[in-house]
C-alpha cells in the first residue's frame, strides 16, 4: 500500500483567473521538481561517479594522513625499535635452532 499526498489538484470552484494561473504555475513547478528528482534517481552513471569521487577523496586524505604520521619522529622511533626487537628475537630463535 502506498501513501498519497493530500493536496488539492484543482483550484477552488470560485477561483479567479489570477488564482487559477498561480495554481497552474505551482503545479508546473511541482511537476518540474518531481521530474528532476526522478531523473536524478534513474541516472545510475552519475550516482556511481559521485560515489567513486567520494571514495577517491577519502582514500587520498587517508593516504596523506598516513604519510604525515609516518613522518613524525616518534613514529619513526617506534618503527625502528620494533624492527630492532624483531631482529634480536629472530637472532635468538636462529641461534637456538643451530
For the record, the C-alpha cell of 62 comes out as 587517508
Domain map (residue ranges) of the chain: 17-97
Is residue 13 helix, strand or coil? coil
Grid coordinates standing for 36? 528532476
Sign, CA torsion 5/10/12/16: positive
Tell me the pLDDT of the chain (98 aa) as tens digits.
444 554 557 878 888 888 989 999 999 999 999 999 998 888 889 889 989 999 999 988 888 888 877 777 787 788 889 999 999 999 999 888 87
Residue 3, CA distances (Å) to 6, 37, 47, 57, 93 in order: 9, 18, 27, 38, 71
- Residue located via cell numbers 541516472: 43
Supply the pTM of this predicted model. 0.40
Amino acid at each position: 500500500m502506498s501513501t498519497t499526498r493530500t493536496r488539492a489538484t484543482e483550484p477552488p470552484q470560485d477561483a479567479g483567473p489570477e488564482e487559477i494561473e498561480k495554481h497552474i504555475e505551482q503545479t508546473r513547478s511541482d511537476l518540474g521538481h518531481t521530474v528532476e528528482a526522478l531523473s536524478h534517481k534513474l541516472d545510475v552513471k552519475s550516482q556511481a561517479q559521485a560515489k567513486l569521487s567520494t571514495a577517491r577523496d577519502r582514500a587520498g586524505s587517508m593516504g596523506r594522513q598516513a604519510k604525515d604520521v609516518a613522518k613524525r619522529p616518534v613514529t619513526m622511533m617506534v618503527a625502528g625499535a620494533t624492527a630492532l626487537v624483531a631482529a634480536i628475537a629472530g637472532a635468538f630463535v636462529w641461534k637456538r635452532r643451530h
